[in-house]
């Protein structure tokens, strides 16, 4: 599996882009940097989008993608997947016609550009040879991570935004994760606000990793707040975890 990191930062600054991960050019996880980086042909190839939660930095590319595709002569439909509370927010707040047109019914009611599909946590779906399973994570709004498995049983897990959670790792126990994309948003000194807002610090990350059975082969840290980057980088190094590294925008991951 090949994952292109369109964006992986925890805030938007010059040189830092919000989360968006592209699997083999067709399947996207979150849309924070979707239309800022991909040309129209790249956007056209996307068929399925999996959203972790409803915060703006993870869904902001959805309306712009639809707007870009509507002016192509060919018909195209993109499936937007997530758990019911997230789909509800997208339908009622993002695409309700007040701040953006409802592209679930454009160009016509029965064949909108966007197709919103609800997922049940723990239930897998198969798309393009991949088995994708949503697992709940702990955040300030309803949120889910995604376990993705290919035909060779290679797996990655993308947490999206998450704070400390026992339930996630209990439900996933026994699944060997080859690449774990996990967030660390704040430095250790900001643990209180991290816990209150549903995020991790380096110290909290170490505690989460100890809960995983078996341990992931690679740990790829994402969603760092750029203003705390150097501090978090230093604190992560002090953890002395050999298979841990920080992801950056524009990188490509081989799972």
* pLDDT tens-digit map of 31-61: 999 998 899 999 999 999 999 999 999 999 9
User: From its phi and psi, is residue 97 left (phi > 0), alpha (psi between -120 and 50) or beta?
Assistant: left
71, pLDDT greater than 90: no
CA 182, 216, 136, 142: dihedral to nearest 10 degrees? 0
Confidence category of residue 108, pLDDT binned at 50, 70, 90: confident
Give the pLDDT of residue 73.
59
Give the pLDDT of residue 222.
98
State how far the Cα of 17 lies from the Cα of 19, in Å rounded to an integer.
7
Count of positions (residues) in the chain: 255
220, pLDDT greater than 80: yes
Give the pLDDT of residue 62.
97
pLDDT, one tens digit per residue, over 117-168 is: 999 999 999 999 999 999 999 999 999 999 999 999 999 999 999 999 999 9
Three-state DSSP class for residue 244: strand
Three-state DSSP class for residue 179: strand
Whole-model pTM?
0.96
**Burial, 123: exposed, middle or buried (Cβ in 10 Å; 0-12, 13-18, 19+)?**
exposed
CATH architecture observed for domain 2-254: 4-Layer Sandwich (3.60)
Give the pLDDT of residue 217.
97
Average pLDDT over the chain, rounded to whole? 95
């Amino acid at each position: 599996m090949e994952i292109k990191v369109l964006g992986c930062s925890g805030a938007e600054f010059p040189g830092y882009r919000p989360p968006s991960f592209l699997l083999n050019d067709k399947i996207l996880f979150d849309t924070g940097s979707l239309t800022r980086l991909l040309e129209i042909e790249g956007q056209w190839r996307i068929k399925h989008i999996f959203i972790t939660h409803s915060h703006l930095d993870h869904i902001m590319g959805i309306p712009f993608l639809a707007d870009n595709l509507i002016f192509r002569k060919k018909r195209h439909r993109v499936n937007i997947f997530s758990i019911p509370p997230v789909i509800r927010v997208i339908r009622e707040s993002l695409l309700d016609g007040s701040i953006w047109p409802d592209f679930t019914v454009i160009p016509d009611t029965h064949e909108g550009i966007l197709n919103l599909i609800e997922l049940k946590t723990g239930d897998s779906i198969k798309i393009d040879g991949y088995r994708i399973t949503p697992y709940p994570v702990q955040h300030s709004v309803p949120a889910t991570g995604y376990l993705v498995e290919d035909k060779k049983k290679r797996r990655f897990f993308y947490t999206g935004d998450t704070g400390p959670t026992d339930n996630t790792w209990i439900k996933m126990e026994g699944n060997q994760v080859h690449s774990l994309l996990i967030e660390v948003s704040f430095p250790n000194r900001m643990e209180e606000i991290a816990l209150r807002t549903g995020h991790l610090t380096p110290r909290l990350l170490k505690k989460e990793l100890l809960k995983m059975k078996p341990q992931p082969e690679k740990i790829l840290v994402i969603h760092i707040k750029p203003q705390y980057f150097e501090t978090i980088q230093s604190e992560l190094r002090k953890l002395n975890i050999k298979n841990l590294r920080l992801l950056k925008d524009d990188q490509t991951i081989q799972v």
